[in-house]
Amino acid sequence: MTNPLLDFDDLPLFDQIRPEHVGPAVDVLLKQAEVALEEVTAPDFPARWDAIAKVLDVATERFSRAWGAVGHLNAVADTPELRAAYNEAMPRVTAFWTQLGSDERLYAKYKAIDPATLNPEQAQAHKNAVRNFVLGGAELQGEAKKRYAEIQERQAELSQKFSEHALDATDAFAWYAELADLDGLPEDVIAAARAAAEAEGKDGYKLTLKMPCYLPVMQFAKSSALRERLYRAYVTRASEFGDPAFDNSALITEILALREEEAKLLGYANFGELSVVPKMAESPEQVVKFLRDLAAKARPYGERDVAELREFAAKELGLADPQPWDWSYIGEKLKEARYAFSEQEVKQYFPAPKVLAGLFKIVETLFEVNIRRDSAPVWHPTVEFYRIERDTPQGRQKVGQFYLDPSARVGKRGGAWMDDVRARWLRPDTGTLQTPVAQLVCNFAEGVDGKPPLLTHDDVITLFHEFGHGLHHMLTQVNERDVSGISGVEWDAVELPSQFMENFCWEWDVLSHMTAHADTGEPLPRALYDKMIAAKNFQSGMQTLRQIEFSLFDMLLHTEYKAPTLGTDVSSLPPEGARSALGRPGGGTHAANAAPGAVMALLGQVRDEVAVLPAPPFSRTPNTFTHIFSGGYAAGYYSYKWAEVLSADAYAAFEESAGANGEPSVDTGRRYRQAILEAGGSRTAMESFKAFRGREPQLDALLRHQGMAEEAQPA
C-alpha cells in the first residue's frame, strides 16, 4: 500500500498524504464506485436496501472518506501543490456525485424497495434518498439532465474559487506597525505581532486580518488611523478594491445565475424554494416572515444600543461623528465603563488547556461519557486527538473520536467548523460497527513567550459551539450511516446542539471549573463573573439585527434577485444597481438588478430595513460571505436564528431542572442526549424536539436569554 488515501484500515494517514497521491487515489476509488453503480443498477440486481448498501454504499463511502480527507487538508493546510491537485480532481469527483444522484436506474431501484422490509432508521434514510433523487435531477431528461450536470460541475468550481480568493485575500494583507501605533493593544497580541515580524526577518510588528489579530485591533487600538487601515482592508477583501486576482464579484454573479437556472430546471421558481425542500421551514415566505417578526422585536433594543454608543462616544471619547472602524472600540470602552471590566481582563482567566478540561468535565458529567487523549496521524503539530468512551456492563466502549485543531495560521481557512471523518455505521460488508470520528477546527491565537494560548470568552463560546456539533455526530446511537449523527438532520435544525452548548459558558458551576489566571492560577473571581453576566446581553439588539441582516439578505438574494442570463455582458448593465428600481425587499422580482453592483444594492435595501448602524459604501460583505457562496448555507443562513429558538427552548429545560447551586441536572442531560443527540437524523427534528420537551418550540426562551423579553421592553 503506497497511497495513504487508499488505506481504510482505520484513521486517515494525514501525516503521509501528499498532493501527488490525490489524482491516483481518485482514479482508483472513482473506478470502484462506477463499477459498483453498474452492478446494483443491473436489471437482475435485487431491489433490497441491504443488497444495494453492501455494494454501492461501501464503495461510495470509501470514496467520500478519501475525498473528505483531501478537502479537509485543502482547508487547514493549503499549499499551491495541494490546491492544484484538488482542483484537478474536483471536476471528476463532482461529475460522479451528480451522476449518482440523478441516475434513473438507481432511482428506479430505490423506488422499487419494499418499505415493509425496512427498519425505522432505514425507512427514514430511504425516504430521504428518494427525495434527494428528485432534487438531484433524476427525473430530468435529455438536454435538461445534461445541463444540470454542467451546472453542478461549474458551481463546484466557482465555490472552490470563491473560498480560495477569500483565503488568499486575507493572507495577502500585512501591515508592519511601529510600537507607538499599538497603544492600547493587549500584551499577548503585541508579542504575537512582534514574533510574526521576526519570523520574517522584519522590523516592527506584523498585523494581519486573521481574527486573533484583527479583532483586538478593532476593539483596543487607540489609533483611529490604525483601526481604519485594517477595517478598510478587511471589509474590502476579495473585491474590486484589492488585487484583481482575488476579486469574487464576477463569481457571485455567475453562482447566483447557475443556482437560479438549477432551480428552474427542477421546477422551482427560485433557488430559495429549492433550498427549503429538505429543511424544517416550509417556504421562503415563512422564513422571511420569521426574520422580519424577530427584527421587529429586536429593533427597539438595537436602536437603544446605538443611542448609548453615540452618547458615550461624544461625551467620553470626543467622537461626535463615529466612523465604521470606531464602533468596536467604542463598544469595548463603554462595556469597560459600564461593567468595570474588559475582555482583556477576562481573557487572562481562560488558558486553553484549562478551558478544554472544563469543557470535557461538563460533557462527561451531563452525557455520562469519558474523554481521554488518543493518538492518530495529524496534519499539524498543534492538532490533538481524543476518544470518547462510555461505561457499559461489558466495560468501557469507544463511542467516537475527534481531532482538535485550535490555532490560526497561514494556509488555514478562517472561522470555526466541525466536519466528519467518518460516520457511525453498522457496515453491511463486514457486519462490524464503525464508530464516528469528527474534526473540530477553530482559529484561536497561539500562545506566546512559552505560555499556553489565552482564549477570549467569545473563543470559549466558539469552542463549546463546535463541540456541540461534534457531540451530535459522535454520540449518535443510529446504525444507518445516512441518518446517523448529523446526517439527514434538517439544515435549519443542525445548529440546535451547537448553540445549546453555548449556554454553559455562562454558568458559574461550569466556569468555576475551567478558569485559572495565566499568571497566578487563581480561578475566575465571582465578582468578575457577576460583571460578565450583567454584560451578557450588551448590544444583543444590535447583534441580533446583524444576524437577521445576513439571513434576510441571503434569502432575498436567492428569491428576488434576478441573475443575468449566462453569457450576458454584465459590464454593460447598471453598475451600482439603480437602487430606486429595486423597491422594498419582499416586493417582487426586479429586472434592473442584474449587475454585480445590484447584489450590493439589494444588501443596501436590507440594511435600510433592518440595520441600526450605517455601513460604509465601500464595504463588500458579500465578497467574503463564504457561508452562502462556498459553505453550504445558500438560502439557509437563517438556520442560525431558526435553530436558536430550538436551542434556547431546549436549554430552558436545564434551567427548570437545575440544582440548588445552579448545577445542571444529569437526568435532564440524559433525556436530551437520548432524544436529540442519539437520535441523529433517524426522525424529523421536530419529532426529536417534542420527544425531549413534550411540545413544539416556543420563542420566549430565546427572547429572555437575550434580554429582549416583553417585560424588559425599553421605553
Q: Residue 523, by phi and psi: left (phi above 0), alpha (psi -120 to 50) or beta?
A: beta
Strand partners, 373: 386
Give CA–CA dist 481/436, Å, rounded. 10
User: Does 573 score more than 80 pLDDT?
Assistant: no
Based on the domain organization, do 381 and 422 belong to the same domain?
A: yes
pLDDT band of 563, cuts 50, 70, 90: confident
User: Looking at the DSSP assignment, which residues form a beta bridge with residue 441?
Assistant: 405, 417
Can you say whether the dihedral through the CA atoms of 494, 500, 501, 503 is positive or negative?
positive
User: How far, in Å, are 224, 541, 646, 689 from residue 695 at the CA level?
Assistant: 51, 28, 11, 8
The residue range of the domain holding 383 is 347-481+491-500+510-534
The verdict on 217 and 115 lying in the same domain is no
- Is the pLDDT assigned to residue 590 strictly greater than 70? no
CA distance 679 to 515: 33
Q: What is the pLDDT of residue 565?
A: 66
DSSP assigned state of 542: H
- As given in the structure block, the three cell numbers for residue 615 are 455601513
Q: pLDDT of 615-649, one tens digit each?
A: 999 999 999 999 999 989 999 999 999 999 999 99
Residue 512 confidence (pLDDT): 87
pLDDT at 296 over 70: yes
State the CATH number of the domain containing residue 28.
1.10.1370.40
Residue 185 sits in the same domain as residue 152: no
> What is the per-residue pLDDT for 567?
54
Contact assessment for residue 41 and residue 109, using Cβ atoms and an 8 Å cutoff:
yes
Cβ distance 281 to 287 under 8 Å? yes
List all residues 6 or more positions away from 157 whose beta carbon is below 8 Å from its beta carbon: 87, 90, 91, 94
Identify the domain boundary among 207, 236, 265.
236
Task: Kindly state whether residues 136 and 230 are assigned to the same domain.
Answer: no
* 45-57 pLDDT per residue, tens: 999 999 999 999 9
Q: Where is pLDDT greater, at 368 or 450? A: 368
Query: Active-site residue numbers?
Result: 466
Judgement on whether residues 160 and 122 belong to the same structural domain of the protein:
yes
Q: How far apart are alpha carbons 81 and 62 in whole angstroms?
A: 24
pLDDT band at 570 (very low <50, low <70, confident <90, very high): very low
Do 447 and 357 lie in one domain? The reply is: yes
First-to-last alpha carbon distance for the chain, in angstroms, is 71
d(CA 657, CA 663) in angstroms, rounded, equals: 9
Residue 197 backbone zone (phi > 0: left; psi -120 to 50: alpha; other: beta): alpha
Cα 263 to Cα 116: distance, rounded to the nearest angstrom = 33
Q: What is the pLDDT of residue 450?
A: 84
Q: Is 400 within a domain?
A: yes
Give domain status of residue 653, yes or no.
no
Please tell me the predicted confidence (pLDDT) of residue 578: 26
Check residue 596 and give its pLDDT.
58
Numbers of helices and strands, H then E, in the chain:
27, 9
Q: Which of 426, 431, 424 is nearest to 475 (CA)?
A: 424
Query: What is the chain's alpha carbon radius of gyration, rounded to the nearest angstrom?
Result: 25
Residue 647 lies inside a defined structural domain of this protein: no
Verify that 108 and 196 share a domain, yes or no. no
Q: Tally Cβ neighbours within 10 Å of residue 201.
A: 6
Region 322-343 average pLDDT: 96
CA pair distance 360, 386, nearest whole angstrom? 11
Flag whether pLDDT at 176 surpasses 50. yes
Tell whether 138 and 209 lie within a shared domain: no
pLDDT per residue as tens digits for the range 661-706: 778 899 999 999 999 999 999 999 999 999 999 999 999 999 999 9
The Cβ of residue 506 has, within 10 Å, a number of other Cβ atoms equal to: 15
Residues 41 and 113 in one domain: yes
368 and 477 inside one domain: yes
pLDDT of 710: 60
* Same domain as 201, residue 109: no
State phi, psi for 206 to the nearest 5 degrees: -85, 120
Asked whether residue 197 is assigned to any structural domain, the reply reads yes
Query: Which one has a higher pLDDT value, 568 or 526?
Result: 526
Closest listed residue to residue 363, CA positions, set 514, 556, 207: 514
> Does residue 47 lie within any of the structural domains?
yes
pLDDT band at 714 (very low <50, low <70, confident <90, very high): very low
**Torsional class of 366: left (φ above 0), alpha (ψ -120 to 50), beta (otherwise):** alpha
Instruction: Decide if 715 contacts 301 (C-beta within 8 A).
Output: no
Residues 6+ apart with CB under 8 A from 63: 29, 30, 32, 33, 96
Residue 23 Cα distances to 17, 160, 405, angstroms? 12, 17, 26
Indicate if 106 and 230 belong to the same structural domain.
no
Q: Is 496 part of any domain?
A: yes
Q: Is the CB of residue 37 less than 8 Å from the CB of residue 56?
A: yes
CB 567 within 8 A of CB 598: no
Domains contained in the chain, number: 3
Q: Is the pLDDT of residue 98 over 90?
A: yes
Q: How far apart are CA 293 and CA 332, in angstroms?
A: 29
Query: CA nearest 165: which of 620, 702, 576?
Result: 620
Per-residue pLDDT reduced to its tens digit, 201-217: 999 999 999 999 999 99
Strands (E), 129-223: 175-177, 205-207
Residue 102 is placed in which grid cell?
A: 440523478
Write down the mean pLDDT value for the chain: 93
Q: How confident is the model at residue 139 (pLDDT cuts 50, 70, 90)?
A: very high
Q: What does the pLDDT read at residue 243? A: 95
Query: Residue 221 falls within a domain, yes or no?
Result: yes
Alpha-carbon distance of 203 to 52, in angstroms, equals 63
Q: Are 370 and 474 in contact (CB under 8 A)?
A: no
Question: Is 354 among the domain residues?
Answer: yes
Q: Which grid cell is 486? A: 448529523
What's the rounded Cα separation, in Å, for the pair 693 and 675? 9
Average pLDDT, stretch 124-133?
97
